[in-house]
Amino acid sequence: MPGPRLIQDDRDAHYRPTRRTIADGLARLELELGSRPETGRCYLRSGSARFAAIWYRPTEGDGIVITYPWSKGCWARTAAGTEIYLSLNELDGAVLDEDGNVFLDDGRSIHALEFDVLPPPREFTDLEHAIVLLTVQFLKAETTCFRCVVPEVGYWAVDYSRVPELSVHNVKELARHIDAHIGNLPRGVGDAPLGPVSLAKIRSTLALAGIRKVRGRKPKMAA
């Protein structure tokens, strides 16, 4: 199937969440489509990740994936009006309607869903995100630090809570890997490719992300 468009503007310039509720995500989707989405074409995905995404799958054309900020879980109300708290795993595969009602895989129906958003450790720039992502790849730590939200279309994200488990033994070798691959990373529409990165910037980003720098020849996971 055609690859979906990713809408990842889930935080503003001050890193405050731009959306917390299902209604927020559906409003963003309606803005993208220019009309209300087709009934039965919106799904929630979370999988093993710490955030959720709305996946719009039209009958024709490309889909759209709209992400939410990293969250601990979510609040919602049942059909009887009782407030409940759900884990993100319970949302995976749920179907949404255009009014924001959520139909879970276990048969329950909920509404007024709002995510319990985690505070970010700090704001990472696009360049710093790219350095961390390429460091994870360099260390072959994808199974530890990557989380798949929409496996059908290969949508993965870095789990920053696991990144401090990493250590780098050769920053210069890492820098060569970053410079070789950073220009090929996907960018937003109209954004120029990222260019070469200084060794000082790589070292400062590793420190901000909590990745240890230790002596040695081979990169490895921290014990």
Euclidean distance between CA atoms 128 and 209, whole angstroms? 9
Q: Which residue has the higher pLDDT, 9 or 102?
A: 102
Pair (76, 139) in one structural domain: no
Domain count, the chain: 2
Pair (100, 134) in one structural domain: no
CA distances from 147 to 34, 96, 109, 179, 184 (A): 31, 23, 27, 24, 21
Pair (33, 71) in one structural domain: yes
Whether 158 has a pLDDT exceeding 90, the answer reads: no
Whether 78 has a pLDDT exceeding 90, the answer reads: yes
Pair (106, 163) in one structural domain: no
Question: Which of 92, 117, 142 is where one domain is finished?
Answer: 117
Pair (30, 66) in one structural domain: yes
Pair (12, 101) in one structural domain: yes
| Angle in degrees, CA 179, 185, 190, rounded to 5 | 115
Residue-level pLDDT at 47 = 66
Looking at the chain, the whole-number percentage of residues with pLDDT higher than 70 is 85
Q: Which residue has the higher pLDDT, 164 or 138?
A: 138
Domain hosting 170: range is 126-221
Question: Which of 117, 147, 181 is where one domain is finished?
Answer: 117
pLDDT (tens digit, 9 = 90+) per residue, 23-59?
A: 999 999 999 999 998 888 999 988 666 788 999 998 8
Q: Which residue has the higher pLDDT, 223 or 133?
A: 133
Question: Which of 96, 117, 138 is where one domain is finished?
Answer: 117
Residue-level pLDDT at 1 = 45
CA distances from 99 to 17, 30, 36, 96, 102 (A): 22, 12, 10, 8, 9
The pLDDT-based confidence of 114 (bands split at 50, 70, 90) is very high
H helix intervals, the chain:
22-33, 126-138, 142-145, 171-181, 199-209
pLDDT (tens digit, 9 = 90+) per residue, 54-71?
A: 999 988 888 899 989 888
Pair (15, 35) in one structural domain: yes
Report the range of poorest mean pLDDT among 48-57, 80-89, 103-112, 172-181.
Answer: 48-57
Give the CA dihedral 138, 143, 164, 118, nearest 10 degrees: 130
Pair (11, 109) in one structural domain: yes
Pair (130, 85) in one structural domain: no
Residue-level pLDDT at 219 = 45
Among all chains, which residue has been given the structure tokens 């929630």? 44
Euclidean distance between CA atoms 84 and 76, whole angstroms? 5
Residue-level pLDDT at 106 = 93
pLDDT (tens digit, 9 = 90+) per residue, 115-154?
A: 988 766 566 888 998 999 999 999 999 888 887 666 655 6
Helix/strand/coil for 126:
helix
pLDDT (tens digit, 9 = 90+) per residue, 173-221?
A: 999 999 999 999 877 667 888 989 999 999 999 998 889 988 755 545 5
Mean pLDDT for the stretch of residues 10-35: 86
Pair (173, 88) in one structural domain: no
Contact residues for 30 (Cβ-Cβ < 8 A; gap 6+): 36, 37
Pair (20, 94) in one structural domain: yes
Pairing verdict, β 95-96 and 83-86: unpaired
Pairing verdict, β 64-67 and 5-7: parallel
Euclidean distance between CA atoms 144 and 50, whole angstroms? 13
Q: Which residue has the higher pLDDT, 48 or 110?
A: 110
Pair (152, 50) in one structural domain: no
DSSP state for residue 51 in the 8-state scheme: S
CA distances from 176 to 170, 183, 184, 196 (A): 10, 12, 14, 9
Residue-level pLDDT at 159 = 78
Residue-level pLDDT at 48 = 64
User: How many CB atoms lie under 10 A from the CB of residue 189?
Assistant: 5
